[in-house]
């Protein structure tokens, strides 16, 4: 069946397209893109008048929790949540039980994703066995099992020699090392950003230096080895500046950020609400301003939801006992609209590039484009729809979001994978 999406605003940063037009879909692929010329006939017509038509979003690191923590999330529920957020491809973090540190565990992730039949899922392999930071995982076999990158998720690789060997070894195969760059000794006992607010509240802080120091080390090792290192959830002014300078020297380093670090500062911790507790912690305004600057000048090329689903009872404890994490896939777009589009920091084309081109390049995925011949992975957005975030309606199993009940502007109205509509909020 031939499907035509017509009269939409096509935003395809990979091909420098931002124009009204139509897209013809045939056999799961984009058969043609039409602008001034009249599009051909089709079996099904989707009128996209007033909508943005974008390549399907890609998230470079998502906690799917399965196997081992199915009370928080499963691969089926995580991929359903991804579709609701406009994501057609996600890379699954390996911090499950057992850890994805061997070929069999990576293949399990792929099989479960195929059974769910929601969005595309690509496994991320562990850098070290069991995330213990001591012995490298089966990197070669994980590459054969289609691992698109390597990471120990939220566990920093503290040993510099292990990190060096990881960069050297992964460099032989191509996939990057995605790192939670944080000095454990400076951060493991903290609950929020170290600064005026933590002192005022009497809470143990996580200093910005914990991120700055480890980011500097990772950059030095990437320069030494020629390996590819990616800083996940960069959050501090100095770390961003170090990445910027390293990129200017040609070091193979990249970084992503998460939109809730723009929406809130550490002042929200005055509420002692565990739903704001995340890792890295919410920072002060100077760091928020640096994040915006990094996005504007391209130092930060990727936006990730950093989806960390947690059963709500795990958050219903004292602040110092609660686990870190925010459930983010289904709320990423409206937060980006509020913090980046509405203030004029980014154009829609720049935002979509951070959600498509950036992660596709990082993970070497053949997606994130509307070019003819590419897979028809497409996200349709109503940029002006007014709605209210309702955690109870999440497709994720978890509800750990601090923006439940918040008014929002901009909504994903449909998500297509291989030309099939897998999610929609209205009849099309």
Please state, as a whole number, how many other Cβ atoms lie within 10 Å of the Cβ of residue 50. 12
Residue 202's Cβ-count burial label (10 Å; 0-12, 13-18, 19+) is exposed
Residue 12 annotated among the catalytic residues of the structure: no
CB atoms within 10 A of CB 386: 11
Q: Which helix (H) or strand (E) holds 266?
A: none
- CA–CA distance from 351 to each of 289, 296, 417 (Å)? 17, 10, 20
CA 260 to chain centre: 12
Task: For tokens 């910027």, name the residue.
Answer: 244
Tell me how crowded residue 374 is: count the other CB atoms within 10 A of its CB.
17
| Contact in structure between 161 and 222 (CB atoms under 8 Å) | no
Alpha carbon distances (Å) from 105 to 2, 14, 92, 152, 306: 38, 33, 12, 15, 22
Which of 98, 104, 90, 92 is CA-nearest to residue 69?
98
Question: Residue 1 and residue 423: Cα distance in Å, rounded?
Answer: 19
Tokens of 190: 């903290």
Catalytic residue (one of 95, 266, 306, 377): 306
Q: Helices H, strands E: what count in the chain? A: 14, 18
282 Cβ contact partners less than 8 Å away, ≥ 6 residues apart: 192, 193, 260, 261, 264, 265, 266, 268, 269, 276
Whether cis (ω within 30° of 0) applies to the bond prior to 72 is no
Contacts of 13 (CB under 8 A, 6+ apart): 349, 350, 352, 353, 356, 357
Catalytic amino acids?
306
């Amino acid at each position: 069946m031939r499907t035509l999406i017509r009269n939409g605003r096509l935003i395809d940063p990979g091909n420098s397209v931002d124009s009204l037009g139509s897209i013809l879909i045939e056999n799961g692929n984009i058969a043609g893109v039409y602008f001034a010329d009249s599009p051909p006939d089709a079996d099904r017509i989707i009128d996209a008048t007033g909508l943005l038509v974008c390549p399907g979003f890609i998230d470079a690191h998502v906690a799917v929790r399965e196997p081992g923590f199915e009370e928080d999330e499963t691969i089926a529920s995580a991929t359903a949540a991804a579709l609701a957020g406009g994501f057609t491809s996600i890379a699954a973090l390996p911090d499950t039980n057992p850890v994805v540190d061997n070929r069999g565990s990576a293949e399990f992730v792929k099989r479960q994703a195929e059974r769910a039949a929601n969005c595309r899922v690509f496994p991320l392999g562990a850098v070290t066995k069991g995330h213990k930071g001591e012995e490298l995982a089966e990197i070669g076999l994980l590459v054969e099992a289609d691992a698109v990158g390597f990471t120990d998720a939220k566990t920093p690789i503290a040993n510099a020699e292990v990190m060096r060997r990881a960069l050297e070894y992964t460099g032989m195969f191509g996939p990057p090392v995605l790192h939670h760059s944080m000095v454990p000794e400076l951060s493991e006992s903290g609950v929020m950003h170290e600064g005026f607010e933590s002192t005022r509240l009497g809470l143990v802080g996580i200093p910005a230096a914990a991120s700055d120091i480890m980011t500097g080390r990772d950059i030095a090792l990437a320069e030494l080895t020629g390996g590819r290192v990616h800083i996940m959830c960069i959050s501090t002014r100095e770390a961003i500046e170090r990445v910027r300078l390293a990129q200017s020297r040609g070091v193979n380093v990249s970084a992503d950020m998460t939109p809730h670090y723009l929406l809130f500062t550490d002042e929200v911790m005055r509420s002692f609400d565990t739903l704001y507790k995340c890792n890295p912690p919410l920072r002060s305004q100077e760091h928020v301003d640096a994040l915006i600057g990094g996005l504007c000048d391209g130092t930060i090329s990727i936006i990730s939801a950093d989806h960390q689903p947690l059963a709500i009872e795990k958050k219903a404890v004292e602040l110092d006992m609660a686990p870190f994490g925010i459930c983010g896939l289904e709320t990423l777009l409206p937060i980006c609209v509020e913090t980046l589009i509405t203030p004029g920091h980014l154009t829609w084309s720049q935002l979509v590039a951070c959600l498509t081109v950036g992660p596709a390049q990082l993970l070497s995925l053949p997606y994130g484009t509307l070019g003819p011949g590419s897979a028809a992975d497409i996200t349709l957005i109503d940029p002006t729809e007014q709605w209210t975030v309702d955690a109870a309606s999440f497709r994720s199993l978890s509800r750990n979001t601090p923006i439940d009940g918040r008014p929002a502007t901009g909504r994903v109205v449909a998500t297509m994978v291989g030309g099939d509509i897998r999610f929609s909020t209205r009849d099309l």
